[in-house]
Amino acid sequence: MQSLKPGRGPSALGAFGGIFAVLFGIFWTFMAFSITRNIPIVGIVFPLFGVAFVIIGIVNVIYNFRNATARERYSVIDITTESEEPDPLNRLVNPNQGGNTVENKLRELDGLRTKGLVSSAEYAAQRTRILNSI
């Protein structure tokens, strides 16, 4: 399976953005509480938005800081082949097209043999299995 990973620069920028969100959330919480403390329900609910900013900011900082500095980063998008993880929508939209057809399986098997990834005996056995599945 192949993965696309975010660059270290965008991850570092995301970490700084998260720090800004945390600081803004703290500022918001104190300001909202001081302005609305005498209003019954609003005095409780309005400052909670600041707490939400702080929580989201902390998670954002941790995730992005790790991606900016760690040797092994999180992947944003995993690229998989049809044989690793077939797309279920392909079968629904066009059942005769995609990686699950006999023709495509035989082509993939031929490619593996050409690359030397399967022996002649394995090739013959898999080819027979694929043709028997018709």
Q: Can you give the pLDDT of all 134 residues of the chain as single tens digits?
A: 566 777 888 888 899 999 999 999 999 999 998 998 888 888 888 889 899 999 999 999 999 888 888 887 777 766 666 666 666 666 666 665 555 678 888 888 898 899 988 898 999 998 998 888 77
User: pTM for this one?
Assistant: 0.52
How many other C-beta atoms can be found within 10 angstroms of the C-beta atom of residue 52? 14
How far does Cα 78 stand from its chain's mean position? 6
Specify the pLDDT at position 57: 93
Specify the pLDDT at position 54: 94
Find tokens 């500022």 and name the residue: 27
Specify the pLDDT at position 51: 92
Helix (H, G, I), strand (E, B) or coil at 122: helix
Considering only CA atoms, give the Rg of the chain.
27
Specify the pLDDT at position 46: 87
* CB proximity list for 92: less than 8 A, separation 6 or greater: none
- The beta strands (E) that lie in 73-125 are given as 77-79
The two tokens of residue 109 are: 């098997």
Specify the pLDDT at position 37: 85
